[in-house]
């Protein structure tokens, strides 16, 4: 069983804060099963955007996984915001978290996939 979105977000915010990474909830979604997008603001006008990875075929896999939404490189913030707006039009229950770090740290390494 997958951890509820609201609980996962609280834990992620705590983890980021404990590492000195500011994180804010830019868009609040469904507490139970809302998809979570993480925008890493590099504070230079560019961002990296991570969203839900495609589900695994492994039926035992219950952890959330993320993959880059707009490729591995940083993009201009308006491009990421436009992508998130389209996602919100399609699914009004999404969450958007924004992490601010000049070095691009996001603490998602163990949950990233190459999708």
pTM beyond 0.85: the answer is yes
Q: Which residue has the tokens 């603490």?
A: 107
What pLDDT shows up at residue 60?
55
Strands 66-68 and 75-76: unpaired
**CATH fold for domain 5-111:** hypothetical protein tt1805 (3.40.1530)
What pLDDT shows up at residue 107?
94
Taking each continuous run of H as one helix and of E as one strand, the counts in the chain are 2, 6
What pLDDT shows up at residue 96?
98
Residue 35 confidence (pLDDT) above 90: yes
Residue 85 has which token pair? 């707006």
Give the rounded percent of residues in the chain with a pLDDT score beyond 70. 91
pLDDT (tens digit per residue) in 42-67: 999 999 999 999 876 554 556 789 99
Please compute the mean of the pLDDT values over residues 62-82 and round it to a whole number. Answer: 93
What pLDDT shows up at residue 109?
87
Burial (Cβ within 10 Å: 0-12, 13-18, ≥19) of residue 13: middle
């Amino acid at each position: 069983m997958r951890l509820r979105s609201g609980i996962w977000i609280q834990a992620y915010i705590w983890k980021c804060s404990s590492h000195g990474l500011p994180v804010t909830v830019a868009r609040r979604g469904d507490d139970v099963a809302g998809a979570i997008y993480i925008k890493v603001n590099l504070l230079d006008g560019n961002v990296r955007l991570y969203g839900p990875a495609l589900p695994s075929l492994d039926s035992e896999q219950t952890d959330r996984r993320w993959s880059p939404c707009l490729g591995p490189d940083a993009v201009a913030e308006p491009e990421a915001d436009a992508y998130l707006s389209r996602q919100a039009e399609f699914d009004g229950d999404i969450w958007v978290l924004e992490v601010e770090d000049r070095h691009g740290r996001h603490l998602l390494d163990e949950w990233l996939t190459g999708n």
